[in-house]
C-alpha cells in the first residue's frame, strides 16, 4: 500500500524527497517547508564569502535562489540526496554571483575563496550537469589547498573565544544562537565576527597563507 502524503498537518515530518514531489506537483506549502528546513544550509554556504568581503544579506538571498532552484529541479532518480543537490545549487549560485562581482569589480570578492573548501568529485550529482558546475575539478582542488592555508593562518591570529565563534559561525548559527550557546550577549558575538573579518582581510591582503 502506498503511503499517503496528503495530510497538511504531518507535512513537517515528510522526507525531503516526498516534499520535492509535492512541490513539483504545485504544492507551495511543501516548497516553503523545504526552504525553511534548509535555511541554515544557505547561511553555512554563504558565510565564508561574507567573511572575505561580501554583503551578508545579499549573499544569503542569492543562496536562497539556489535553494529554490534545487527544490524545483531535484530529480530523485539521480544518485544523490536532496541535501547534496541543494548544496551544489546553492554554491553554484554563489560562485556565479562572485564571478560577476569580480568582473564588474564592484566588490572586494575578486580575491575571495571559500573557507569551507567545497569540492565536487566526478561521482557527484554534477556529473553530466555542466550548468551546475562551471568550474573544473582542478579549480576546486586549488581552492582547497589555498583555503586550507588561509584558514590555518587566520586561526593562528584568533583568540580562543574568536576561534570558538568562527566554528559556530561557519556552521550557520545566527549570532543569537551562538550567544545562547557560549553564554555571551549577541553584541559580543557580533563584535567577534567583525574582528574575525578584519583578520581574514589582513590575511588576504598580506598574501601570506603559510601554515607554519
Residue 5 maps to a domain: no
Within this chain, do residues 151 and 83 fall inside the same structural domain, yes or no? Answer: no
Q: 85: domain range?
A: 14-111
Confidence of residue 8 (pLDDT cuts 50, 70, 90): low
pLDDT at 45 over 60: yes
Higher-pLDDT residue of 68, 137 = 68
Within this chain, do residues 101 and 164 fall inside the same structural domain, yes or no? Answer: no
Residue 2 maps to a domain: no
Residue 116 maps to a domain: no
Residue 212 maps to a domain: no
**CATH number for the domain including 181?**
1.10.10
Q: Compute the distance between CA of residue 147 and CA of residue 112 in angstroms, rounded to an integer.
A: 10
Residue 83 maps to a domain: yes
Confidence of residue 104 (pLDDT cuts 50, 70, 90): low
Confidence of residue 55 (pLDDT cuts 50, 70, 90): confident
Residue 121 maps to a domain: no
Region 90-109 average pLDDT: 70
Within this chain, do residues 102 and 148 fall inside the same structural domain, yes or no? Answer: no
Q: What is the mean pLDDT of the chain?
A: 76
Q: How many residues does the chain have?
A: 212
As a whole-number percent, the residues of the chain with pLDDT over 90 amount to 40
SS3 207: coil
- Between the two ends of the chain, the Cα-to-Cα distance in Å is 61
Within this chain, do residues 36 and 83 fall inside the same structural domain, yes or no? Answer: yes
Confidence of residue 39 (pLDDT cuts 50, 70, 90): very high
Count of structural domains within the chain: 2
Q: Give the global pTM.
A: 0.69
Residue 105 maps to a domain: yes
Residue 91 maps to a domain: yes
Q: The C-alpha cell of 146 is what?
A: 589555498
Q: Which residues contact 108 (CB under 8 A, 6 or more apart)?
A: 52, 53, 201
Encode pLDDT of 151-208 as tens digits: 677 888 899 999 999 889 988 998 999 999 999 999 999 999 999 988 888 877 766 5
**CATH number for the domain including 45?**
1.10.1740.10
- Residue 122 φ/ψ, nearest 5 degrees: -70, -15
Region 62-75 average pLDDT: 93
Residue closest to 86 by CA, chosen among 31, 161, 47: 31
Within this chain, do residues 19 and 107 fall inside the same structural domain, yes or no? Answer: yes
Burial code (b: 16+ CB inside 10 Å, e: under 16) for 40-69 equals ebbbbbbbbbbbbbbeeeebbebbbbbbbb
Amino acid at each position: 500500500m502506498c503511503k499517503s502524503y496528503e495530510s497538511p498537518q504531518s507535512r513537517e515530518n515528510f522526507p525531503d524527497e516526498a516534499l520535492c514531489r509535492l512541490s513539483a506537483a504545485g504544492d507551495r506549502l511543501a516548497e516553503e517547508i523545504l526552504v525553511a528546513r534548509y535555511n541554515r544550509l544557505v547561511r553555512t554556504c554563504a558565510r565564508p564569502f561574507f567573511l572575505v568581503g561580501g554583503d551578508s544579506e545579499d549573499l544569503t538571498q542569492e543562496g536562497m535562489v539556489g535553494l529554490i532552484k534545487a527544490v524545483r529541479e531535484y530529480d530523485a532518480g539521480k544518485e544523490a540526496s536532496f541535501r547534496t543537490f541543494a548544496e551544489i545549487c546553492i554554491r553554484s549560485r554563489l560562485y556565479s554571483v562572485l564571478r560577476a562581482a569580480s568582473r564588474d569589480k564592484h566588490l572586494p570578492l575578486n580575491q575571495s575563496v571559500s573557507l569551507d573548501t567545497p569540492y565536487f568529485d566526478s561521482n557527484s550529482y554534477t556529473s553530466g550537469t555542466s550548468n551546475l558546475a562551471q568550474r573544473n575539478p582542478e579549480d576546486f582542488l586549488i581552492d582547497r589547498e589555498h583555503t586550507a592555508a588561509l584558514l590555518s593562518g587566520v586561526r593562528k591570529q584568533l583568540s580562543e573565544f574568536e576561534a570558538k565563534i568562527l566554528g559556530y559561525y561557519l556552521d550557520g548559527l545566527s549570532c543569537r544562537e551562538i550567544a545562547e550557546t557560549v553564554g555571551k550577549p549577541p553584541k559580543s558575538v557580533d563584535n567577534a565576527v567583525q574582528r574575525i573579518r578584519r583578520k581574514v582581510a589582513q590575511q588576504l591582503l598580506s598574501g601570506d597563507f603559510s601554515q607554519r
